[in-house]
Structure 1
């Protein structure tokens, strides 16, 4: 079932973060995923969640997300991302039975 990675992104150093984007994009594509949304002006309708930038990626499944997240080649990129940004990341799966 399709899984969606929702990221609350706050970039501290845009030039440094671009290095991460350039390196991670091929890994995302290799995982069979795609970027659906990057919005630095999202609309909050209720509550106090106001991500500086909202990012959504679509993966084939939660298992594909986990494989990407845990992949050895992604580990140094996580460190690079953490140097230049702060994120909150959650994953949801579409079409779960009973939902």
Structure 2
């Protein structure tokens, strides 16, 4: 089942942002990921949104996400961004298989 990495990014140093993006993107592709959303500026319609950039990356499964995140390549990217790029990141499983139902709500 596919799994997703959802990322909020706030670049404080544009040069570091470009360097991070190059290394991070290659690490994602090398681990079977593909970018679904990579917009420069999200458009909030409800609530508040603190970051300037938003990404959704699809991987074949949660195991591949963890392999990517713990890889030497992505560790290098994290070192590049340290103190120069703020990142909020979460991992999420994909949609449940067909036939799956949620419990009834009262």
* TM-score, with length taken from structure 2: 0.81
CA radius of gyration, larger in: 2
Q: Please give the per-residue CA displacement for 1:5-26, whole angstroms capped at 9, x wherever unaligned.
A: 1111000111121111112222
Matches of 2:43 and 2:77, distance apart in 1: 29
Structure 1 unaligned spans of 5+: none
Partner residue, 2:60: 60
Q: Aligned residue for 2:91?
A: 91
Decide which structure has greater helix share: 1
- Structure 1 residue matching 2:48: 3-state secondary structure: coil
CA distance in 1, matches of 2:89, 2:76: 17
Deviations 1:62-97 (A, max 9, x none): 111111011133212211122320010011111235
